[in-house]
A and B are shown apart, each in its own frame.
Chain A
Amino acid sequence: MRGFNFNLWFGGFLTLVVVIGALFAPLLTSLDPVYDANLMNAELPPDGEFWFGTDEQGRDIFTRVLYGARISLTVGVVSQIINSVIGLALGISAAYWGGWWDDLVNGLTNVMLAIPSLIFALAIMAILGPGLLSLLIALGLTNWSWTCRIARSSTLSLKGQGYVQAAQTLGYGDIRIMATQLLPNMVGPILVISTLGIGAAVLAEAALSFLGLGIRPPFPSWGSMLTNARELIAIAPWATIFPGLAIFVTVLGFNLLGDGLRDYLDPHMRTREQ
């Protein structure tokens, strides 16, 4: 019997908390994150009414953290989906077809891995302007290299398996083979790298929003909340602590989940083989 997979359960739990918070935000709080701003309530510490306290505009931080989770998760998941699609398409096809296409993809991947991802995202944001959509595109175009590498190496090792050759002799076209024979057999590593990627994307969004390039205030994004809270650190530290904590919990949750999945999928497959 395997030992208790702490990473999987705890990471899963943290992730679930964040997801529930994001999904059920309207049910968990009756306040509006943007408009319920009462200067009379500015900079109040956490109490019975405002669980996380209020910010400089009198907005409930708890509400804003919850709605901010929607932004973060959306950015994290959607950009990772874009990453995965690009990475899988390039990686699998590069290994399968080989030749000049493989050389090209490899070169491109090497270049992408050499560029600091945040700077690359910044450059794209500079062209596209701020906002959620630009954020998704920028992050989606930045972090596909890892997925591409893994997809490529998985394909290289799977390519020689009898069932891939059999599919060719049975009349399957190349695309169909890549989609039905190769892709399903690399789900494990891809899933792991994807959960880690979501965590990275959340951090990237927070950083970009903090720099004023992502989600613009007054819409709640954990990153932009941190920007506003900079001036308040001495008088209202809770305005910094709670968004920061939210980022921490989310990224930790996804990272642990990713590690846990990796462990779960590996020996599980082995024991089933026996």
Chain B
Amino acid sequence: MKDSVANPILDIRDLHVHFPVGGQFLSRSKRTLHAVSGVNLALAEGECLSIVGESGCGKSTTALAVMGLQEPTSGEILFEGNSIIGENAPDRMARARIAQMVFQDPYASLNPRQTVYRSLAAPLRLHGTSAKSEIEDRVADILKKVDLRPEHATRFPHEFSGGQRQRIGIARALILDPRILMLDEPVSALDVSVRAQIINLLLDLQEDMSLSFVMISHDLGVVEHMSDRVAVMYFGQIVELGPWNAIFANPTHPYTRKLIATIPDPDTVLHPDRAVAVGKYVAPPAGYRFHPQSVNRPDVYAAPEASQLVEIGPGHVVRCQPD
């Protein structure tokens, strides 16, 4: 069932990513790890779509598939209507102008042996910009956009703090003027006070540069603050998808509710009744039961049972099976 967005800039259709496990030279039993099973997601231009879930749910694998770093087993990924996987896939250079990624660990996302200038200038040169003055201008420009000074370009990554490194990572992702930015846990590794600045920066940049975001996160506070729509993933499948206020005000699927209820939130001290409200049971739509029913570990080596996404509100769907 397609995700209902008109003219999406990015359209993920029935994405499956399966990994063969345990089969090397001479093994007999080959199991398949179903990392992503039938994901449908559409990204509207200019929106921020977040994919939330815990480790192992497949959100990172989905992101890698979109970025071209992971070969999908089946399914389709379209950028502005054109396929970007399979035989018709654009080469790496063309891909680079479509989507870029901001990585989670600011301490590992920059080449320690390259100055900031080189990390930013090299992609420009690779993509055809040769005039030194133009390169210098664009590097200075992008550094200013992420609230760093052009003089910082001559330094090495280890001379910067975590937050600054993340800014450099964002600058690098933006230097080629991509249309889509994939944010992989962009602030998880940063201190609380620094997170606020990076979040503010990302939101500002989104507006300034007309970017569309796909954000992967397990931090629901950040997700609620930044997203237009939220997709909740559980063991390779989307179990709930909808506008941010619907997901957070009216979480329906048992897994979504568990996720939101278990976030340690300072507000529970002041408003203990809020937590109770979220934990209350919500009935599935008529004629259906939720799928998966229980939130215990399913068998990741088996293909999931047939199920569908049922609409329970405008743009708000939840995964069910017919009763």
Query: Is B126 a contact partner of A169 (Cβ separation < 8 A)?
Result: no
- Complex Cα distance, B100 from A82, in Å, reads 38
Segment at the A interface, from B71-79, B105-113, B269-277: B105-113
Query: Is A166 a contact partner of B158 (Cβ separation < 8 A)?
Result: no
Picked from B103, B104, B123, B158, the residue with its CB within 8 Å of the CB of A170 is B123
Question: Which DSSP category, helix, strand, loop or mixed, fits chain B's interface?
Answer: mixed
Query: Is A161 a contact partner of B92 (Cβ separation < 8 A)?
Result: no
Q: Determine if B176 is an interface residue (Cβ-Cβ < 8 Å).
A: yes
Q: Determine if B67 is an interface residue (Cβ-Cβ < 8 Å).
A: yes
Query: Is B109 a contact partner of A163 (Cβ separation < 8 A)?
Result: yes
Q: Determine if B6 is an interface residue (Cβ-Cβ < 8 Å).
A: no
19 examples of A-B residue contacts, CB within 8 angstroms: A162-B104, A162-B109, A162-B169, A163-B110, A165-B101, A166-B169, A169-B67, A169-B95, A169-B100, A170-B96, A171-B94, A171-B123, A173-B92, A181-B111, A184-B113, A184-B114, A185-B111, A185-B113, A273-B158
Q: How far is the CB of B116 from chain A (nearest CB, A)?
A: 12
- Complex Cα distance, B99 from A190, in Å, reads 35
**When A161-B108, A165-B101, A181-B111 are in contact, do A272 and B158 touch as well, CB less than 8 Å?**
yes
Q: How far is the CB of A262 from chain B (nearest CB, A)?
A: 18
- Given the complex, which residues of B lie within 8 Å of A180, measured CB to CB? 122
- Given the complex, which residues of A lie within 8 Å of B68, measured CB to CB? 168-169
For A163, give the chain B residue with the smallest CB separation.
Answer: B111
In order of increasing CB-CB distance, the 5 nearest A-B pairs are A162-B109, A171-B96, A162-B103, A171-B93, A163-B111
- Given the complex, which residues of B lie within 8 Å of A24, measured CB to CB? none
| Interfacial residues of chain A within 175-195, with CB under 8 A of chain B in the complex | 176, 180-181, 184-185
Query: Is B95 a contact partner of A162 (Cβ separation < 8 A)?
Result: no
Question: Which DSSP category, helix, strand, loop or mixed, fits chain A's interface?
Answer: helix
Q: Determine if B127 is an interface residue (Cβ-Cβ < 8 Å).
A: yes
Interface string of A184-216 (1 = CB under 8 A from B): 110000000000000000000000000000000
- Complex Cα distance, B124 from A171, in Å, reads 10
For A176, give the chain B residue with the smallest CB separation.
Answer: B126
Q: Determine if B34 is an interface residue (Cβ-Cβ < 8 Å).
A: no
Query: Is B92 a contact partner of A185 (Cβ separation < 8 A)?
Result: no
| Interfacial residues of chain B within 151-168, with CB under 8 A of chain A in the complex | 158
Q: Determine if B131 is an interface residue (Cβ-Cβ < 8 Å).
A: no
Q: Determine if A51 is an interface residue (Cβ-Cβ < 8 Å).
A: no
Q: Determine if A35 is an interface residue (Cβ-Cβ < 8 Å).
A: no
Interface residues on B, range: 20 to 34
- Given the complex, which residues of B lie within 8 Å of A162, measured CB to CB? 103-105, 108-110, 169
Q: Determine if A101 is an interface residue (Cβ-Cβ < 8 Å).
A: no
Interface string of B55-77 (1 = CB under 8 A from A): 00000000000011100000000
**When A162-B169, A166-B101, A166-B103 are in contact, do A172 and B108 touch as well, CB less than 8 Å?**
no
**When A162-B169, A166-B101, A273-B158 are in contact, do A171 and B92 touch as well, CB less than 8 Å?**
yes
- Given the complex, which residues of B lie within 8 Å of A272, measured CB to CB? 158
- Given the complex, which residues of B lie within 8 Å of A163, measured CB to CB? 108-111, 119
Q: How far is the CB of B142 from chain A (nearest CB, A)?
A: 13
Residues of B that sit less than 8 Å from A by CB: 67-69, 92-96, 99-101, 103-105, 108-114, 119, 122-123, 126-127, 158, 169, 172-173, 176
- Complex Cα distance, B113 from A172, in Å, reads 17
Given contacts A168-B92, A169-B96, A180-B122, 11 further A-B contacts (CB under 8 A): A163-B109, A165-B101, A166-B101, A166-B109, A169-B67, A169-B92, A170-B123, A170-B176, A172-B92, A185-B113, A273-B158
Interface residues on A, range: 10 to 19
Query: Is B105 a contact partner of A165 (Cβ separation < 8 A)?
Result: no
For B100, give the chain A residue with the smallest CB separation.
Answer: A169
For B24, give the chain A residue with the smallest CB separation.
Answer: A103
- Given the complex, which residues of B lie within 8 Å of A171, measured CB to CB? 92-96, 123, 126-127, 176
- Complex Cα distance, B157 from A273, in Å, reads 9
Query: Is B109 a contact partner of A169 (Cβ separation < 8 A)?
Result: no
Q: How far is the CB of A232 from chain B (nearest CB, A)?
A: 53
For B94, give the chain A residue with the smallest CB separation.
Answer: A171
For B109, give the chain A residue with the smallest CB separation.
Answer: A162
Q: How far is the CB of B194 from chain A (nearest CB, A)?
A: 18
Query: Is A170 a contact partner of B100 (Cβ separation < 8 A)?
Result: yes
For A173, give the chain B residue with the smallest CB separation.
Answer: B92
**When A162-B169, A272-B158 are in contact, do A172 and B126 touch as well, CB less than 8 Å?**
yes
Q: How far is the CB of B138 from chain A (nearest CB, A)?
A: 14
- Complex Cα distance, B127 from A234, in Å, reads 72
Interface centre among A162, A176, A181 (most CB of B within 10 A): A162
Q: How far is the CB of B304 from chain A (nearest CB, A)?
A: 28
Query: Is B69 a contact partner of A169 (Cβ separation < 8 A)?
Result: yes
For B118, give the chain A residue with the smallest CB separation.
Answer: A180
- Complex Cα distance, B110 from A181, in Å, reads 10
